[in-house]
Amino acid sequence: MQTLEKPIAPIEKLERSNRYLIVALVVVTLLAAGLGAWLVVDHLRLGAEGEIDDLLSEYGAAWEANDGTAVIALMTPGASLTAGNGETYSVAEIESMVDGLGSFTSTPLADNMVVQTADGWYVAAASTLDYAGMTFRVFDVFEQDGRYLIRYHETWGEGDVP
């Protein structure tokens, strides 16, 4: 019996077009993995860091509203504030100072940087205040009775800012 053999055409052309498909699939896979990682990190941020960001947003809003009672409600009873002029204020003095401030607006320059310590968190924040220019603030945040409170607030920058 005799067989006929027909040569098979090379698949080189098909391989080249598959190469682009493979590159596209790799790019899509990397993008999906990156998006997934971003979602996981963003979800984890809703933990302590997210709660601390919420605390500082509420704290900043209370300062802007000149609501000293709301400000000190977000601080530990023994908290203090060291202002840009070097003066340190107790909780009672902070309440009076906030109540006596004029209206102002604070605009964040970047995300807060939160670093966990042995007994709390340090937070660095940068913003501009409409009456004083750029200011930097450092907070010592402490968890007490299941909620985050500010234990220490220090600020410095352009002008004498609280």
Q: What is the pLDDT of residues 113-145, one digit of tens each?
A: 888 888 888 888 888 777 666 778 888 898 888
- Asked if pLDDT for residue 40 goes beyond 60, the answer is no
Query: Model confidence at 43, in pLDDT bands (50, 70, 90)?
Result: very low
Q: Within 10 Å of residue 146's Cβ, how many Cβ atoms?
A: 5
Q: Are 125 and 104 in contact (CB under 8 A)?
A: no
Q: Give the pLDDT confidence score for residue 88 in this predicted structure.
A: 92
C-alpha span between 29 and 56 (Å, rounded): 37
Whether the predicted pLDDT of 26 surpasses 70: yes
Average pLDDT, the chain: 79
> Measuring CA to CA, which residue among 109, 67, 88 is closest to residue 162?
88
Distance between CA 107 and CA 129 in Å, rounded? 6
Residues 133/158, Cβ–Cβ less than 8 Å: yes
Confidence bin at 72 (pLDDT 50/70/90): very high
In degrees and rounded to multiples of 5, residue 128 shows phi and psi of -115, 140
User: CATH number for the 46-157 domain, one of 1.10.3720.10, 3.30.565.10, 3.10.450.50, 3.40.640.10?
Assistant: 3.10.450.50
Question: For the whole prediction, is pTM greater than 0.85?
Answer: no
